[in-house]
Amino acid sequence: MTRRFDADFLIIGAGLVGLATAWKLLCARPNARALVLDKEHAVATHQSGRNSGVIHAGVYYEPGSLKARFCREGLQATYAFCAEHDIPHARCGKLIVATSPLEVLRLKALAERARTNAAAVEWLDQAALSETEPAVTGLAALRVDDTGMADYPAMARALATLVQNAGARIELGQTVQSVRERSEGVEVQTPGAAYSARHLIVCAGLQGDRLARQAGLALDFAIVPFRGDYFRLHDARSSLIRHHIYPVPDPALPFLGIHLTRLVEGGISVGPSAMLAFAREGYRLSHFNARDLRDMVLFPGLWRVLGRHAGAGLRELGCALSKSRYLREIRKYCPSVELEDLLPHPSGVRAQAVSRDGRLLHNFLIRETAHATFVCNAPSPAATASLPIGAEIARLALRH
Ligand SMILES: Cc1cc2nc3c(=O)[nH]c(=O)nc-3n(C[C@H](O)[C@H](O)[C@H](O)COP(=O)(O)OP(=O)(O)OC[C@H]3O[C@@H](n4cnc5c(N)ncnc54)[C@H](O)[C@@H]3O)c2cc1C
């Protein structure tokens, strides 16, 4: 007798990656029975709804990597999707500003990398920089005209509507507690229900590694949460800049540094920092979660990564504890910002995979078993890249 499953494809996670995956699956296989589960009561509650809102152009990423490829494809796909579905967005461009001779050298390397990645950039000398952005100071800058901004929560809601209109179910408020892979499919348990599916796709962001381990995958990395604290500039400063303004990042870290970001709804955000969080969904410095903390402390990769990046860690701790210290980072390239300009703004937490030997994993990471596909590392720019990531996961899942 053939087994009757609740769904052909069961997707855990209604963030941008899970919803884009469901949508791409249904585009490729319109008759498939797809079910999306999320533990929260709204889509895009975590990373997809708590980010900088930037559409990235693909400047920074290792040439040939999944990140480089999917970011370039995602750039075009996100603009097209936003235009087609009336989602607020704009191509405002960005400047990456070097403020020291070392940063000028790093900026030159970044310009080379951008060209290899087919991202169009223009070099600005000091005079051209101050003409382009009078409030910004630096020795040189790279201008990236393709960079933009989008309302990512609205994009997630639009994807959810498309998925439901295509016949799939989205069940919110369903925390998946256990995942079991069987010989012919997968069983998933929430507190109130049990589901079975031919194929499982896990896009669970900050909780992704836990569900993968439950399903029996042996992982040599763990998700470590890095909180990004933001401020919002006072409305009186909302015309301070015309582009997003970024510092030159430390090439050893996957984080881009505290930047000034134009918001699609108007105004400017400042951030995010990158401070180790004491809870995977800990949006305040004071948030602790005993299980998350225990897992982190017992994970050798955490101590190795802290040792390797001790200087950056101390700088981040300073920014988390002191607003003046945070302000100093912004004033390196935008000296007119004052302490009283910085108003509260919601934080986000990045799901960053760290290997057992203490490396911050930069690339997107997807693992597969016979009946399941796991998104194990989808940090920035995975909002920009969500549509091509979704297409790739759909392709992998449909092969089964
Ligand atoms: C501070 C910050 C700034 C960023 N800035 C940018 C940017 O400007 N541009 C850009 O392109 N990217 C940016 N990113 C990255 C981007 O936001 C993320 O890479 C992307 O949103 C990841 O989407 P996701 O669907 O994988 O994860 P998420 O959006 O976190 O979704 C995972 C979902 O899984 C659900 N879930 C987890 N566990 C369970 C369970 N057991 N049962 C049921 N459901 C579960 C969660 O509730 C959640 O809804 C930023 C990220 C952060 C944190």
Q: Which atom belonging to ligand 1 lies closest to the Cα atom of 71? A: 11
What count of Cα atoms within 13 Å lies in the side-chain half-sphere of residue 76? Answer: 7
Q: What average pLDDT does range 62-90 have in this prediction?
A: 97
pLDDT tens-digit readout, 83-116: 999 999 999 999 999 999 999 999 999 999 999 9
Q: How many domains does the chain have?
A: 1
**Is residue 32 a part of any domain in this protein?**
yes
Å from CA of 271 to ligand 1 middle: 17
Å from CA of 380 to ligand 1 middle: 9
CATH of the domain at 174: 3.50.50.60
DSSP strand E in 34-177: where? Answer: 34-37, 54-55, 89-90, 94-98, 122-125, 140-144, 148-150, 169-171
Cross-strand partners of 144? 94
Cross-strand partners of 261? 269
Distance CA 40, CA 229 (A): 22
Q: Does the CB atom of residue 53 touch ligand 1 within 6 A?
A: yes
pLDDT tens-digit readout, 250-266: 988 888 999 999 999 99
**Is residue 177 a part of any domain in this protein?**
yes
pLDDT tens-digit readout, 156-214: 999 999 999 999 999 999 999 999 999 899 999 999 899 999 999 999 999 999 999 99
Q: Which atom belonging to ligand 1 lies closest to the Cα atom of 17? A: 25
Give me the percent of the chain exceeding a pLDDT of 90. 91
pLDDT score at 253: 84
Å from CA of 128 to ligand 1 middle: 37
Q: Which atom belonging to ligand 1 lies closest to the Cα atom of 381? A: 11
Q: Whose CA is nearest to atom 2 of ligand 1?
A: 51
**Is residue 261 a part of any domain in this protein?**
no
Binned at pLDDT 50, 70 and 90, residue 23 comes out as: very high
**Is residue 16 a part of any domain in this protein?**
yes
Torsion 381-384-385-387 (CA) sign: positive
pLDDT score at 251: 87
Distance CA 186, CA 84 (A): 36
Q: Does the CB atom of residue 257 touch ligand 1 within 6 A?
A: no
Q: Whose CA is nearest to atom 15 of ligand 1?
A: 380
**Is residue 277 a part of any domain in this protein?**
no
Torsion 205-74-155-271 (CA) sign: positive
Q: pLDDT averaged over the chain?
A: 95
- With a cut of 90, say whether residue 311 has pLDDT above it: no
pLDDT score at 3: 64
What is this structure's pTM? 0.96
Torsion 125-126-127-131 (CA) sign: positive
Q: What average pLDDT does range 282-308 have in this prediction?
A: 93
- Give the structural domain span for 168: 1-90+149-220+361-400
**Is residue 71 a part of any domain in this protein?**
yes
**Is residue 228 a part of any domain in this protein?**
no
- With a cut of 80, say whether residue 144 has pLDDT above it: yes
**Is residue 105 a part of any domain in this protein?**
no
Distance CA 37, CA 227 (A): 25
- With a cut of 80, say whether residue 2 has pLDDT above it: no
Å from CA of 132 to ligand 1 middle: 33
Q: Does the CB atom of residue 350 touch ligand 1 within 6 A?
A: yes
